[in-house]
């Protein structure tokens, strides 16, 4: 196998592909299949999704956006509106609960820079008194797709008590839960939203 921008390339002889084309079609969904003839690469079998991505890339992104892109753009606009109104921020967690992206104000609440926070487990950065509740809510979100709202006394392990509200929602890709989006708003002692 050879690593490639569209997955790992697998090599197969034309005879192998001819005998079991269905297997090689399935393999092409994971990454390119280079079909050889007399030991030389002859053709490459790729998924329709990979083909569309390559042709769009070659056309300079001129192809029509797929519906997922439109939904993502709508979600980003909603997040920007949320941040503008509340002064809040967001965290994107991978399926394992690792911070993939984080807004700088939220990283500051954790007592870190954004660069320091990316790659860390969110639960390792949460105040120990709040960790159990956050872990349980994340597990429900990952396993059952249940969205949740948590009011915490403090987000980070250090620094001043800064009450926050976390909104957790599953991120789905191809109907499977791929991660969790966490919206963070800093709240006042009376329960209102504080603009940062």
d(CA 155, CA 159): 10
CATH class for the region spanning 2-58: alpha beta
Give the pLDDT of residue 158: 63
Give the pLDDT of residue 117: 87
Question: In sequence order, what are the beta bridge partners of 187?
Answer: 193
**Fold assignment, 67-186:** Beta-Lactamase (3.30.450)
Report the chain's terminal Cα–Cα distance, integer Å. 50
Residue 88: count other Cβ atoms within 10 Å of its Cβ. 24
Residue 35 contacts by C-beta under 8 Å, 6 or more apart in sequence?
12, 13, 14, 17, 24, 41, 42, 43, 44, 45
Give the pLDDT of residue 165: 86
| pTM for this entry | 0.55
Each residue's pLDDT, cut to its tens digit, for the chain (196 residues) gives: 444 444 578 888 988 888 888 888 888 888 888 888 888 888 888 888 788 777 776 666 544 556 666 666 676 666 666 666 566 688 888 888 898 888 888 888 778 888 888 898 888 888 888 889 999 999 998 888 889 999 888 777 665 567 888 889 888 877 788 888 888 887 765 555 444 4
The full set of domain ranges for the chain reads: 2-58, 67-186
């Amino acid at each position: 196998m050879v690593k490639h921008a569209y997955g790992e390339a697998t090599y197969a002889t034309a005879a192998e592909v001819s005998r079991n084309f269905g297997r090689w079609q399935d393999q092409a969904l994971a990454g390119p299949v280079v079909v050889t003839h007399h030991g030389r690469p002859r053709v490459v079998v790729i998924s329709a999704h990979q083909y569309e991505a390559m042709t769009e890339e070659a056309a300079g992104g001129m192809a029509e956006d797929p519906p997922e892109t439109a939904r993502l753009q709508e979600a980003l606009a909603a997040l920007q509106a949320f941040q503008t109104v509340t002064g809040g921020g967001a965290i994107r967690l991978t399926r394992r609960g690792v911070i993939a992206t984080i807004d700088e104000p939220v990283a500051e609440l954790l007592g870190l820079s954004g660069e320091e926070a990316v790659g860390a487990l969110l639960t390792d950065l949460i105040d120990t008194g709040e960790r159990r509740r956050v872990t349980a809510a994340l597990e429900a979100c990952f396993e059952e797709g249940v969205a949740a709202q948590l009011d915490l006394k403090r987000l980070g392990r250090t620094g001043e008590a800064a009450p926050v509200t976390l909104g957790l929602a599953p991120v789905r890709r191809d109907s499977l839960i791929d991660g969790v989006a966490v919206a963070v708003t800093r709240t006042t002692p009376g329960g209102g939203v504080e603009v940062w």
